[in-house]
Structure 1
Amino acid sequence: MKKIVFTGGGTAGHVTPNLALIKELNNKEWDMHYIGSKKGIEKELIEKINIPYYSISSGKLRRYLSVENVKDIFKVLKGCLDARSLLKKIKPDVVFSKGGFVSVPVVIAASMLKIPVIIHESDITPGLANKIAMRFASKIFTSFEETLNYLPKDKSTCFGSPIRKVILTGSAAAGRHFLDFSSAKPIITVMGGSLGAKKINEAIRENLEELTKKYQIVHLCGKGNVAESLTNNRGYKQLEYVHDELADILAATSMVITRGGSNAIFEFLALKLPMLIIPLSKQQSRGDQILNAESFSKKGYSLTLEEEDLTPQTFLAMVQELDDKQDILKKAMNENTKQDALTAILQEIKKY
């Protein structure tokens, strides 16, 4: 039986592509394992699917000077030792990494043990974790063509983003039933990422009365962000996070308001859902979501509203513009002929 170790974590975006690949690998042919952090979201998501999960020490990698960097060097070194011990025990044929801080010790340890490493980079510019890890990789795959400009050309290929097949099989009727929504008004799904998005949450709630006159709103607001005072509002459904119900919810959805995380926006592209992207600002990130949003906007797949420009008034105006332009956006998305990234990546993994 062939063996593979998956790694990646910190946010759902570093886990969902791994879940897509795990789902498609035949567990009668592949012995699958996952290495992640002790407290990251990856632990919760992977334990749901009964794949052996191993926790290692993980330090945060920062681009700025901090006393914590010194402590985290030792955490990363311990993580390398933890990962090396696990990999010697598991003896995988290949390691697949989706990035995030926890993946760096795993990739380094695999390289030391001469285990082939495949990395997938979702964003246009590589994150710090993947910038370090790519030196140790056998192959690097990307979601965006533009990313190839930042990678070693001899081992890099753009396949797109591996989309979970289950996300394409939802039932609109089941989605409306789960949400207790009617078919009388279109549904807007709002996703602020697995950790939520404070300014987007505020913009939705400040405009809720106006929005629910015309739409029904599904608000995935992040853990601990449910507003108890709004739980009984008709046509407004708050959820911290969804798992199995997401495909049905999206099947019932007409338009999406989202952050600029690569995996999410590629799933919406596959579903041909018109989207308003409100990327994380440079004050909160390295600017990767802004670049992702710019790329999609240039291709005609989405509209963009910068967080610095987000007010109740601009938000409402952009939702109206999204509604007005949804047919134009769908036409551009229908012209996207990118190959099935999930199948292409699976074929590469199977070579090992």
Structure 2
Amino acid sequence: MKKIIMTGGGSAGHVTPNLALIPKLKKMGYEVQYIGTEDGIERKIIEKQHIKYHIISSGKLRRYFDIKNFTDPFKVIKGVVQSIIIMKKEKPNIVFSKGGFVSVPVVIGANFNKIPVIAHESDITPGLANKLSAPYCTKVCVTFPESQKYIKDNKAVLTGTPVREELINGSSIIGKRICGFNDKKPVLLVIGGSLGSKFINDTVRENIDNLIKKYNIIHICGKDNVDNSLNSKNGYVQFEYVNDELPHIMNSADLVVSRAGANVIFELLALKKPNLLIPLSKKSSRGDQILNAKSFEKSGYSIVIQEEELNGELLVQKLEELRKNRAKYVKNMESSSIKNGVDKIVELIAKYST
């Protein structure tokens, strides 16, 4: 039996794509293990899958000044040593890295033991962890065609991003039943990211009376962001976070308002859901979501509103434009050459497993 060690963490976006790969890897006979941090979100997610989990130390990688920048490199060095020891003991055939700060010592530890590494970058431009890891990787899977120019030494492979099979197989009927929707109004799904978006939440809620005239609304608003004063609104359902019901809820949507993280927008592409993207501004990010959104807009999959321009009137106007042209956006998505990345990534893993 071949063995693969996976890594990635710091946010759900660095873990959930791994979940999409695990079922197929197991079917191919791989034993799957995982390396992450003690307190990272990855531990909670992976241990639910009953996968052997190794804990290492890792410091956060920052592009800005912080006093911890002087101490965290020592945590990374400790993590490299721990990773080397784990690799020597477990002897995996290959390592798969989804990025995030925990991945850097794992990739270096694998390289030290001459174990091939496949990494995956979701955004158009590589994150800092993948930038640091790339020299130690065998190949780097990328999601956007534009990304290939940022990966040196002919290591880039265009694969798309892996999408969980259960998401594709969700039921629109069950999703509407969960939300109690019985009429013929189109369903609008609002997603603000795993932690929610106060900016998007507030704009939607300030215009809720106008919106529910035309749409049944499912609002995934993030932890502690439910507004109980709106519970009596017919056609408006709120969730802090959705887990098992998410495939059904996403399949029930006719239109989607979302941030522009690579994982969620490629899930929308796989499900062929016309969408209105509101990327995180450069004030609170490195600008990767803005580039992601521009790429999808250029391909004809999305309408984009920049966060600085967002207001209730523009939101309602652009949603109406999206609704009227829904068939055009679905057709563009159906014609996309970028599909679910699971098969391509797994083929690459199999090719380079020692």
Q: TM-score range by the shorter chain?
A: over 0.9
Q: Distance in 1 between matches of 2:106 and 2:156?
A: 20
TM-score, scaled to structure 1 = 0.96
Distance 1:339 1:329, change over 3 A: closer
The alignment's C-alpha RMSD in Å is: 1.5
Corresponding letter in the other structure for 1:99: G
Q: Deviations over 1:198-247 (max 9, x none)?
A: 10111111111211111111111112222222234322121122222111
Instruction: Count residues in correspondence.
Output: 352
Map of 1:184 onto structure 2: 184
Counterparts of 1:69-80 in structure 2, within 5 Å, are 69-80=69-80
Corresponding letter in the other structure for 1:124: I
Map of 1:273 onto structure 2: 273
Q: Distance in 2 between matches of 1:149 and 1:78?
A: 33
Map of 1:51 onto structure 2: 51
Map of 1:139 onto structure 2: 139
Counterparts of 1:240-319 in structure 2, within 5 Å, are 240-319=240-319
Q: Distance in 2 between matches of 1:279 and 1:56?
A: 33
Q: Deviations over 1:123-150 (max 9, x none)?
A: 1100111000101101111001110111
Map of 1:229 onto structure 2: 229
Map of 1:106 onto structure 2: 106
SS at match of 1:154: coil
SS at match of 2:26: coil
Tell me the CA shift for residue 340 of structure 1: 4.5
Q: Distance in 2 between matches of 1:153 and 1:146?
A: 16
Counterparts of 1:24-63 in structure 2, within 5 Å, are 24-26=24-26, 29-63=29-63
Corresponding letter in the other structure for 2:39: K
Contact 2:3–2:94, Cα closer than 8 Å, also in 1: yes
Tell me the CA shift for residue 88 of structure 1: 2.4
Q: Distance in 2 between matches of 1:343 and 1:28?
A: 12
Distance 1:316 1:339, change over 3 A: closer
Q: Deviations over 1:3-32 (max 9, x none)?
A: 101111122211121000002122682111
Contact 2:56–2:79, Cα closer than 8 Å, also in 1: yes
Distance 1:183 1:350, change over 3 A: farther
Q: Deviations over 1:73-112 (max 9, x none)?
A: 1221222223223222222111101111111111111111
SS at match of 2:74: helix
Contact 2:97–2:118, Cα closer than 8 Å, also in 1: yes
Q: Distance in 2 between matches of 1:268 and 1:339?
A: 11
The range that moved more, 219-228 or 273-282, is 219-228
Tell me the CA shift for residue 314 of structure 1: 2.0
Contact 1:191–1:219, Cα closer than 8 Å, also in 2: yes
Q: Distance in 2 between matches of 1:34 and 1:188?
A: 36
SS at match of 1:74: helix
Q: Distance in 2 between matches of 1:52 and 1:183?
A: 46
Map of 2:333 onto structure 1: 333
Map of 1:82 onto structure 2: 82
Tell me the CA shift for residue 252 of structure 1: 0.9
SS at match of 1:213: coil
Contact 1:118–1:137, Cα closer than 8 Å, also in 2: yes
Counterparts of 1:174-213 in structure 2, within 5 Å, are 174-213=174-213
SS at match of 1:63: coil
Map of 1:22 onto structure 2: 22
Contact 1:189–1:256, Cα closer than 8 Å, also in 2: yes
Q: Distance in 1 between matches of 2:165 and 2:241?
A: 19
Q: Distance in 1 between matches of 2:85 and 2:237?
A: 46
Q: Distance in 2 between matches of 1:203 and 1:54?
A: 42
Corresponding letter in the other structure for 1:147: S
Q: Percent identity?
A: 50
Tell me the CA shift for residue 113 of structure 1: 1.4
Q: Deviations over 1:144-171 (max 9, x none)?
A: 1110111114221111111212111111
The range that moved more, 70-79 or 297-306, is 70-79
Q: Distance in 1 between matches of 2:11 and 2:28?
A: 29
TM-score, scaled to structure 2 = 0.95
